[in-house]
Structure 1
């Protein structure tokens, strides 16, 4: 079975333990630091090099030894072979100097829409490899953790009661040793990530007050992101396990990623992103009031529950009785689907976030 190597330490072990690198996948490594060791070998059949850095001399040597080397497109604004989730400062690099349009996040969205490359097989390959790499990195973050999803609308503004409530929900879930996973965007998603990121109520209160100065990402994403990055940098973390993750997508280019996840798993494919997010929520999903995107997530989660006969079903908790019964009448449909099925035992409609926390932490 192929073995992925994504650190130089792991590569050193492989070089010490074997005479051949056949079957290895070297992912996003600076091979210039190990050039002499690699030049001493001559059989690379079955070795795949995914991106990274290597000199022309080493690249020629590897190809002579029948290695397969995947290059990065010169116009690709992100590394498709990356082995780790994004950090906020990576996605917003250059924000303070040149504005949001110059950041990797904004450039990646424009690249995803570029009609000149939309039907380019190589570009499609790079996007697919990128999303697979991000999925692997997300699996590493959530491994062994109880993950709870928090879904909700992007339009909830900082400074509002709804925003503060979502933040306190995220904090309560993280304090119960749950890893909080959201769609990674603004609004209720940002609030839940923020609440989980803050380890104390005092720190959360201070963050909420500071963020209220820029209530929305509209019309100025730059100002919205800048104040959030400042707030994040002021939050002192003492290590420990991750408390939250954001899983956004460039498909919704108008929604910038929030900065409060311990990692950001951003995908080009919204289908992979949504299915992957829900599939990893093994401790349940809580859904705050939202619109079309949130409704789509509800029914994706419901499909898993509907067909999940004979397995441990994680709870699905909708918050806002009037919203989900009348304004957007999803609840009657869920009741009809759940009739005479096991999912009826784990689908809940509540009015308070305290009820939601109790159901998800029981």
Structure 2
């Protein structure tokens, strides 16, 4: 059982139930030495990060608890889980390089730390914490994954169309999940975040001032954050563990592609160090279907990652639809569709893969949130 708030810890201690096997995650245990000293069942209690003063640590360790300390010299908190856009872009007024997002990427690619066992452990703990909160966020939700390339510029007709698709999906009750980056991903997240078409039209018009994240991420993200505040306001964010039912827009980016900064139009961001875990998590959680917009190598990889479970799925497992948008792109520019047809031939998945030309054709092909 995980305990993630002091209120929950107090309730458990007051109940008199055993604390063996509990996981106390990212809590400030200052002042808890006496309460814990009264317990005779600390063996097997696991404390993950947070603040553990010396008097509390002494009680825990001498009585058999396991204490994982906080990490002082990493640019991220490995126990924190999901992010809000403002978390990753904190300090942006000093330039993108000063933000936690940029510093985490610099730390990740540092050749002297890349294979360091200590840093590897930190990254693994971080990604597991993200997965833990992400599972809680999507539990019971109808999730549609929207894949697409990062190069699609703000202000283009294709960007606006992808944003309208994201909005339509969210209005149908789906949680719109993307790779969390710029371009088509940003557009779908933007559309999902906007509560109505008037807000979306205003956002699209404003964003044309800075069409791309290169060469100036600072200007691109700053404008995005300004537009985000017109959509959701500047009120403090609700805790991520209560956000699930109301979330419309989810980003799942990775520092593996750190040259692609995360877009700011997600209700919440699940950012990973491991691209493999991130891609599998995005595909496997898209239980209502996956929509694939124009993209290049990364998008093609995601298509075939989605195809594999469709190909091998047992007969009693329902198949989520996979919809490719853009007949010419997927048959001529990048001829993925002919390969999919050959793979699907004679198999049950043939009824689940689709090629369409317009976004209006997408929604009827997806699983209903009520199903």
TM-score bracket, normalised by the shorter chain, equals over 0.9
Alignment of 1:271 onto 2:267:
no
Alignment partner of 2:255: what SS? coil
Q: Which residue of 1 aligns with 2:239?
A: none
Question: In structure 1, how many angstroms separate the alpha carbons of the residues matched to 2:176 and 2:37?
Answer: 45
Q: Which residue of 2 aligns with 1:359?
A: 365
Kept after mapping to 2: 8 A contact 1:176/1:361: no
Q: Which residue of 2 aligns with 1:18?
A: 16
Q: Which residue of 2 aligns with 1:101?
A: 97
Moved more, 54-63 or 130-139: 54-63
Q: Which residue of 1 aligns with 2:259?
A: 254
Q: Which residue of 2 aligns with 1:116?
A: 112
Question: In structure 2, how many angstroms separate the alpha carbons of the residues matched to 1:118 and 1:101?
Answer: 19
Task: Give, in angstroms, the shift of residue 33 of structure 1.
Answer: 5.7
Q: Say which of 314, 323, 333 aligns to 2:320.
A: 314
Alignment of 1:1-362 (within 5 A): 3-18=1-16, 20-32=18-30, 34-41=32-39, 43-82=41-80, 84-96=81-93, 98-236=94-232, 241-310=246-315, 311-360=317-366
Task: Give, in angstroms, the shift of residue 75 of structure 1.
Answer: 1.8
Q: Residues 26 and 225 (structure 1 numbering): CA distance in 2 closer, same or farther, change over 3 Å?
A: same
Kept after mapping to 1: 8 A contact 2:51/2:70: no
Q: Note the alpha carbon deviations across 1:183-216, whole angstroms, 9 max, x for none.
A: 0000000000000000100000111111111100
Count of residues in Structure 1 that have an aligned counterpart in Structure 2: 358
Kept after mapping to 1: 8 A contact 2:91/2:99: yes
Task: Give, in angstroms, the shift of residue 126 of structure 1.
Answer: 1.2
Task: Give, in angstroms, the shift of residue 129 of structure 1.
Answer: 1.0
Q: Note the alpha carbon deviations across 1:256-275, whole angstroms, 9 max, x for none.
A: 00111111000000000000
Question: In structure 1, how many angstroms separate the alpha carbons of the residues matched to 2:302 and 2:264?
Answer: 22
Kept after mapping to 2: 8 A contact 1:173/1:361: no
Task: Give, in angstroms, the shift of residue 39 of structure 1.
Answer: 4.1
Question: In structure 2, how many angstroms separate the alpha carbons of the residues matched to 1:65 and 1:343?
Answer: 55
Alignment partner of 1:282: what SS? coil
Task: Give, in angstroms, the shift of residue 43 of structure 1.
Answer: 4.2
Moved more, 131-140 or 32-41: 32-41
TM-score by length of 1: 0.95
Task: Give, in angstroms, the shift of residue 236 of structure 1.
Answer: 3.6
Q: Which residue of 1 aligns with 2:238?
A: none
Alignment partner of 2:354: what SS? strand
Question: In structure 2, how many angstroms separate the alpha carbons of the residues matched to 1:329 and 1:126?
Answer: 40
Alignment partner of 1:260: what SS? coil
Any gaps of 5 or more consecutive residues in structure 1?
A: none
Alignment partner of 2:362: what SS? helix
TM-score by length of 2: 0.93
Question: In structure 2, how many angstroms separate the alpha carbons of the residues matched to 1:14 and 1:67?
Answer: 17
Task: Give, in angstroms, the shift of residue 319 of structure 1.
Answer: 0.1
